[in-house]
Amino acid sequence: MTSTTLRRSSTRAVPLLIAASLLLSACAGGGDNGATTPDLEMAPVVTTHADVTEPLALAVNAKPGTLDPLLVTATHDVRLLKLIGGTLFELAPDSSGVTPSLASGAELSEDGLQYTVTLKDGATFTDDTPLTAADVVATFERARSYEANAYAGQIAPVSAVEAVDNATVRFTFTRPYPSFETFLAYPNMAILKASEIGADLAIPAVPTFAGAFSVDGEYFSNKFSLERYPDFAGDLPAAKTIDVVVVTDANSRIQQVRTGQIDFAVDPLPSQLSSLTGDVLPQVTESVGFYYLNMNNKGDITADVNVRKAISLALDRAQIANIATGGYAKPMSGFFPEAFAPGYAGDVKKDVEAAQKMLEGTACAEGCDLSLLVSEEWAQQAAVVIQQNLTEIGITASIESAERQVEIGRLFDADFDLNVGLFGDYSSVPEGLPGYCLQYSAGYLSCLSSYESADIETAVTELTLALDDSAKTAAMDRVDDIFLADQPYATISGLTAAAAVSKDAAGVLSMGSTNLIHVATLSE
């Protein structure tokens, strides 16, 4: 999961790019949001590829902050962990499902309360030591016990983890948990060595994983390499070496792809996509998530639901969505993005008169001052529009720029008024986006807004337990109704994932609809 960061037994996510030379039509823009998107030749989603022995250069937008699977939340950290940390199952680049990776398979009991995983024969960590059931048990016991676990909601239904034998692990649930296999493919479920987990649950800054790549060089720096682990138990990646370079400026990342210094650059600005032609191809795909204006529900002023509703009404979502996505995702005001469940876009029209009326009797009735915290380039551009929108209803928003890691810390500490960000999941499971963005108990502070509601906690739980489409629809309707009534934050548009890819890296590296970087499997 990613947050300004960013999530499959079954999934309803809708990938926008599915094959080489696919033209992404303007249907993603236009219509309700008034955006137009150019027809662009897209780089292919990866499948299999011949061995690539020459290093490929990957440009990320921020220096690594942590490799602790339970603390990784920033998008750039999650993407790197995906390449380094081995998981029992693997997410498909197009969000179509999961396949075994470190596991050879799994069985679910008839009552849905026990899930037994078998490890692959000969699976090892990247230091060549055997991967055993004891390592898996230690990893999940740490997740169950670690108070700072940002993904506590994923582990909450697990009541016990036990080693049946050296290669078999049994999970016991408090309730049927159909999403669990999907979660086992998430980067934060990377398996740790039991011997590296301290009594206080601390782990090394750079743990020994059982993933496809190992780190060569100083990981917490602006340049290091990822080397393919030849004995990886999962499908071997086609790339032998990936040189990771931190390039914080989006324009510089694109320019370095054009000049051949970089093969794959993450997160180009939407305005740059139409200029990517010739030897540089864009990738754009819709993900399960949203761009949103976060509001501190415990703030002196933004604790007032009427202030939050007024702010939401004042937003020009079409304009902000064009900045954030280039028109590749539609504006929205409801909770569920179209990639999760179509039909919940809500009313996206800006309504200054209704916003002003909503402010009557609040601390902002005669005007008020709020800070607007941002870090990434697209968010800084969007903040200018939001600032102008709020001026129209008498709210002065002062834009405050911060480094990405500083921003994350302040969000977790509820040290902000407003924040422009994004939140995404790798799949459309109910314990994912709805759990983390609406259930405070899930460990993510309700999408970092400090929103707490017993009613919505119950409604999301009902959604997780719904067994048929009718029950799921009814539960989603209830969730959306409570969300709009409480307005903990303002969703702006669906989430997109984008990258710029050189012709040399096309078909080897790709940005999937998971919003993660995927590497093609080595062909036989």
Q: Is residue 12's pLDDT more than 90?
A: no
pLDDT at 39: 62
Provide the pLDDT confidence category of residue 15 given band limits of 50, 70 and 90. Answer: very low
Q: What is the pLDDT of residues 149-163, one digit of tens each?
A: 989 989 999 999 999
- pLDDT digit string (tens) for 230-246? 999 999 999 999 999 99
DSSP symbols for 272-296: GGGG--TTEEEEEEEEEEEEEEEE-
Q: 3-state class of 356 per DSSP?
A: helix
pTM of the model: 0.82
Map out the domains of the chain as residue ranges. Answer: 287-496
Cα atoms in the Cβ-side hemisphere of radius 13 Å centred on 481: 8
pLDDT in tens, 356-415: 999 999 999 999 999 999 998 889 999 999 999 999 999 999 999 999 889 999 999 999
Look at 446 and 19; give whichever has higher pLDDT. 446
- 41-74 confidence digits (pLDDT tens): 777 777 899 999 999 999 999 999 999 999 998 8
No. of helices (H) and no. of strands (E), the chain: 14, 23
Rounded CA separation 233/236 (Å): 8
- The region of weakest confidence among 4-18, 229-243, 320-334 is 4-18
Which of 164-173, 213-222, 491-500 has the least mean pLDDT?
A: 491-500
Indicate whether 35 pLDDT > 50.
no
Adjacent-strand bridge partners of 281: 501
CA pair distance 37, 28, nearest whole angstrom: 7
Decide if pLDDT at 25 tops 70. Answer: no
Question: Band of the pLDDT at 18, cuts 50, 70, 90?
Answer: very low
Q: Range with the lowest mean pLDDT among 92-101, 116-125, 379-388, 445-454?
A: 92-101
Mean pLDDT of 92-108: 90
What secondary structure letter does DSSP report for 192? P
Give me the pLDDT at residue 1, please: 56
pLDDT, residue 475, reads 95
Residues with Cβ < 8 Å from 265, sequence gap 6 or more?
A: 58, 59, 247, 253, 254, 256, 257, 499, 500, 501
Q: 496-505 burial string, b = 16+ CB within 10 Å, else e?
A: bbbbbbbebb
Question: For domain 287-496, which CATH number applies: 3.40.50.11400, 3.30.420.40, 3.90.25.10, 3.10.105.10?
Answer: 3.10.105.10
